[in-house]
Copies of this chain bind each other. A is one copy, B any other.
Amino acid sequence: MRSELAVKTRDRILHTSLLLFNEEGEPSTTTVDIANEMDISPGNLYYHFRGKDIIIAELFNQFEQGLGEILNAPLEQPLNVEDNWFYLYVVFEEMYNYRFLYRNLSDLLRRYPELKTRFRRVLKLKRAAILAVWETLTREAVVSAADNEVEALVDNMVLLLNYWLNYDHLRHDSRAPALVIHQGVYQLMVMIAPYLGEQQREFYEQVREIYRTIIKPAAESA
């Protein structure tokens, strides 16, 4: 029922907000900043969204749905063994697109408490997805670990997944996204490596070398 232009401005606001939140940080991006960036008036922005909180809620919806679908995939249908590294890349990528959510998470969840439960649900889903990946690899005899090791190992992987982008940003500010993400996958790979069987190990050494080559040039200047 809305006119085409109406829909467009609304979407442009979301798009621009996401851009600025990711680049400049959400706390320091004001509604006026967003309006300025788009060359519209603050009043216009408030016509489409009754406040900054509504914009954030809407962006969180997108994040929750997008990442939710990705994380559910290995729960509904185990991945092929050879797809696992690529899968982790995809997960990182989706997180990267909404990286502002992670940057000042504690304060974000305090200011928008309704997001807390939902963010935790996403975290649990991450854990379930990682565990599913691990179990697939175990079933296919790619990896093996004692039962009582798995829980803590998966926690370490989830923590890495959750904070890798923050860690990289803390050290290097903004590096090329593909580089950051590749190295994130690489770090996960290193975490798994000791659990690989002898046969698998050789194959993964090769994959790892490829990753290292991709990462090397920039990592040197760290």
Contacts and interface: CB of A to CB of B under 8 A. Distances in A.
Contacts of A103: 106-107
Contact of A163 (B25, B166, B191, B195): B166
A27 B149 contact: no
Interface in A21-46: 25, 27-28
Interface string A88-112: 0000000000000001111100110
B123 A171 contact: yes
- The complex is assembled from copies of this chain, and their number is 2
Interface residues of A, number: 35
B187 A152 contact: yes
A176 interface: no
A145 to B, nearest CB: 8
Interface stretch (A11-19, A66-74, A153-161): A153-161
A86 interface: no
